[in-house]
Amino acid sequence: MISLSQFLARRGERDPLAIDDISRYWCGASDAAVIALGQMPGIGFASVKKRMAAFLAVCRHLEDMKRQGELSEEEAFLALFIMRAESLAFSKACIMFEIRGRRFKPADRAALPQVAQDLLAVLEP
C-alpha cells in the first residue's frame, strides 16, 4: 500500500493544514482502503456498468464500515483518494463515476452512498 509520504508527494501537497489533516486520518483510511480494495469486484474490459458497479460497491463497503463505527467520514473520504492512487482498476472505476455521476438526477444522487455523494459535491463548480 502507498505510504503517507508517497501519497503527499504524488499530490504535491505543501499546505501544512492539509498535510496535518491527511496525517491525522491516514491510518484508519489506509486500513479501510486495503479492506475495500480487497472486496472490489472486477471492472471488466472497458465496461461502464462494471466500473460503476465496482466504484459503488467500494463506497457501500466504506459506508458499512462507517455505520459499524470502524471509520469516520473523513477517513472514508480519504480512503477513496488512497485507493485511487494505489489501484489502477479503482482509479478507472472512480473516473467513470466522476464522468457519469455528474449527470445523475437529484433523486439518483440521493440514493448513492454518502461517500459517493460527497465526491460529487467536491467535483461541483
Q: What is the pLDDT of residue 40?
A: 93
Number of Cβ atoms within 10 Å of the Cβ of 14: 8
Q: What is the pLDDT of residue 46?
A: 82
Over residues 39-52, mean pLDDT: 90
Q: What is the pLDDT of residue 10?
A: 87
pLDDT tens for 59-91 read: 999 999 999 999 999 999 999 999 999 999 999
Q: What is the mean pLDDT of the chain?
A: 92
